[in-house]
Structure 1
């Protein structure tokens, strides 16, 4: 039977927002509004259209369990196919009427007397809801260095997550600032056409070859006719992450085995770099797994090209025709591409969320973002996060984590439908769960591996990663325990 209460606002339409809306509709809830500042769904897979954009988690696992896609074209799907999959899911589950595109939420404040959230949008309108969910993601706001002289640069400049497809790089001198997950995908594709391409290496990464392959048509047909084949493939990938890779990242005793394995894989890949001095400059000095382990079968080979250079010195300023590095060298460039990642600590930015007693969420997080199971924050009733603090997985698929969160939030919606007017997680519950997470993280490779990464905030507190397995998170979120919350009816 359809439920018109609670009214639910979802901010964001990536894997989180679409998956949650589907889960709510399947549970019978109909009063759902999905606010999206862009002109269509897709989240990071709508925004990141740079050449070569693809997922580094296998397609069969990087998809909803309730909506398998039997005809993935390759093991690691590329951006257009993933975006098409998300659009298919949205249409197939009837989400079209629920979307409010080109509608950016600027602020949401809780109104205790009414027990509702007032959501303000950039066009000056406001809307009231019983339940608010921030599905903004950890990787939605690009990070751009604030370097002196940016306003004087006379060429083209853009971030990889906001790729300018109108700008032709053929014959250009291109400066790529950063060498992380996006750069190792697009650099091999733009290097052949560039007159000169300089990669400004901000940090070294462990990079192994990407075990990608195209799926033949007979595999598509087999997946359709015998769905168990695809389910077994998904299960096999899941068990690889859960039983082998993930424990090695978290458990101190497993790190040595992981380190030896990853070092061997990455050094094998490094052999394709002909210059031994460059090979040494590309080799990390920290423990494998401390930063995200990257995969590419083309990046190292591209660095052998005569028109490609790697610079280790940090950029100190932008000049009209290029950049200057700390050693005083002037590097000419007609195009600068930022491959500098995202502001991963800005879980709800640029939206302001104001809870009880006028407290803003960012103020509550002044000492580091915290949420019970990454989902709920004291002082913010009837408010939940998806892909919130400490729910990123160092290995595996975030989609599995999101499905756990969907089940949990649906339970919260059922409580509100059953007569609960206010659902606020207790402060002592958050303190206990956060202390447990930080204790377990303290011995992980992310905290002890000898590097700085986007997993850590300015105080070196790990605010992003889950300190356990995907199965463990599913178990912890399987049931919303009402005793963890202050309830009002």
Structure 2
């Protein structure tokens, strides 16, 4: 952690993952606003700092899953592993001069709008500061979802989440269970199978898996892609190709038939046993849940020491893990690949807006926003990678950069001579929410499966943008003050000097 927090800054950024660090870099390059980055972890990186499980990697090509405004990363393969991505973000923080503004191991405990001072009071484990603008960049994968299993206290072995990897847990030659078959599990399972004596995979719902097709770049290719113009050209092509996949998520033919055939063909080619193949066949429309990439998951499931339990883990009975089917397994270690509290972010309980309303209360029926970035009742606050700002088919970094452009436009409007507070109108937020619901209605995400894309109570699509990445930029990439209430400084407000 750096020294003491300043008393006042123009911009307080909470979180130092891709979103928070990107916001910090773009703000630093402007040179016109003072800012801090408050990060609860011991380094930058967010998801890529926390997730250290064996096999962790990105399922978006590295040249798309990186900043467009930085020199291209010298990636050694089409898809980057977690360590390479974390290193990329560490180098970005250093190269861009962010570290003097970065406060590590600082947990923000509450942020409160002060109407008499027209700024945010940001309380943390390192003290309190005031900020004219609050940028919430805590991400969607900050808090692991850890089910409360009956009897877990009686289990003598170790139980932990993939985002809280326990390097001391028995794995080699041990009896290991993995709960879940989502994105983390399909990466983890092949790695654990190489080490475990026995491996049991608890699958509540079978995933659709398509070939990953990763490959190493040759040295000549790496040299070519170190030139930014060449990397940008590849980035544009990869992004454009991925964006075409939104037709699948709309359920359009033949696009959805082709991707379904590809996934089921992959399963049939790699799993010959009809019973196992049946248990690995999804019972919902493709794309309703996240489509996974792996060349190793299905072959691993056919291994003699690997057991697929086609039901959820229900409870523990001493050293036995009991499935919903009633079957039980003697295990030494259980790894929870159970995802994250994405649709109901815990940090929303720590944000207090106009009239004392907590953001979690404002979002009691599911996350809502305007332009996927601003929230009515929370002046001068912008949320990155929040409501309807993710994609199910393309790079999250493109979306984050679009939002950063929007926030910088708002900061321009808040510059000297302009208003000192901007609050999006409730009517604009309501209209945008209706637009999201209308766009979502015909997508596969609302076709009936249960996924983390949906709010668990309202069943609204609150995580994903129901469109292409390019349509998000066209809709939300430029700040327009038209739908905002603007507040100028009255005589009684004594504005601090940053």
- Sort the TM-score into its range (normalised by shorter chain): over 0.9
The one of 154, 157, 160 equivalent to 1:155 is 157
CA–CA separation in structure 1 for the residues paired with 2:327 and 2:109:
43
Say yes or no: does 1:87 pair with 2:90. yes
Equivalent residue number for residue 15 of structure 2: 12
CA–CA separation in structure 1 for the residues paired with 2:182 and 2:140:
16
CA–CA separation in structure 2 for the residues paired with 1:29 and 1:280:
60
TM-aligned CA distance change 1:110 to 1:227, over 3 Å? closer
Query: SS of the counterpart of 1:7?
Result: strand
Say yes or no: does 1:441 pair with 2:440. yes
Equivalent residue number for residue 273 of structure 1: 271
Query: SS of the counterpart of 1:414?
Result: helix
Q: Residue 371 of structure 1: CA displacement? A: 0.8
Asked if the contact 2:177/2:331 (under 8 Å) is kept, the reply is yes
The one of 123, 132, 135 equivalent to 1:133 is 135
Equivalent residue number for residue 308 of structure 1: 306
Equivalent residue number for residue 423 of structure 2: 424
Equivalent residue number for residue 165 of structure 1: 167
Asked if the contact 1:106/1:351 (under 8 Å) is kept, the reply is no
CA–CA separation in structure 2 for the residues paired with 1:22 and 1:435:
34
What are the equivalent positions in structure 2 for 1:400-419 lying under 5 Å apart?
Answer: 400-418=398-416, 419=418
Equivalent residue number for residue 248 of structure 2: 248
Equivalent residue number for residue 487 of structure 1: 486
Query: SS of the counterpart of 2:393?
Result: coil
What are the equivalent positions in structure 2 for 1:32-51 lying under 5 Å apart?
Answer: 32-51=35-54
Query: SS of the counterpart of 2:459?
Result: coil
CA–CA separation in structure 2 for the residues paired with 1:6 and 1:422:
15
What are the equivalent positions in structure 2 for 1:457-476 lying under 5 Å apart?
Answer: 457-458=455-456, 459-476=458-475
Q: Residue 306 of structure 1: CA displacement? A: 0.9
Say yes or no: does 1:264 pair with 2:254. no
Give the paired residue count.
479
Q: Residue 134 of structure 1: CA displacement? A: 0.7
The one of 103, 112, 117 equivalent to 1:114 is 117
Deviation above 3 Å: which 4+ runs of structure 1?
none
Structure 2: tracts of 5 or more residues without a match: 1-6, 489-498
Equivalent residue number for residue 449 of structure 2: 451
Asked if the contact 2:313/2:322 (under 8 Å) is kept, the reply is yes
Q: Residue 135 of structure 1: CA displacement? A: 0.1
Query: SS of the counterpart of 2:220?
Result: helix
Asked if the contact 1:259/1:287 (under 8 Å) is kept, the reply is no
CA–CA separation in structure 2 for the residues paired with 1:16 and 1:122:
22
Say yes or no: does 1:233 pair with 2:234. yes
CA–CA separation in structure 1 for the residues paired with 2:349 and 2:38:
12
Q: Residue 351 of structure 1: CA displacement? A: 5.3
Once structures 1 and 2 are overlaid, which stretch shifts more, 452-461 or 94-103?
452-461
After TM superposition, the score normalised by the length of structure 1 is: 0.95
CA–CA separation in structure 1 for the residues paired with 2:434 and 2:324:
41
Equivalent residue number for residue 185 of structure 2: 183
CA–CA separation in structure 2 for the residues paired with 1:360 and 1:115:
17
Equivalent residue number for residue 493 of structure 2: none
The one of 321, 324, 334 equivalent to 2:322 is 324
CA–CA separation in structure 2 for the residues paired with 1:193 and 1:215:
28
Structure 1: tracts of 5 or more residues without a match: none
Equivalent residue number for residue 199 of structure 1: 201
After TM superposition, the score normalised by the length of structure 2 is: 0.93
CA–CA separation in structure 2 for the residues paired with 1:342 and 1:392:
14
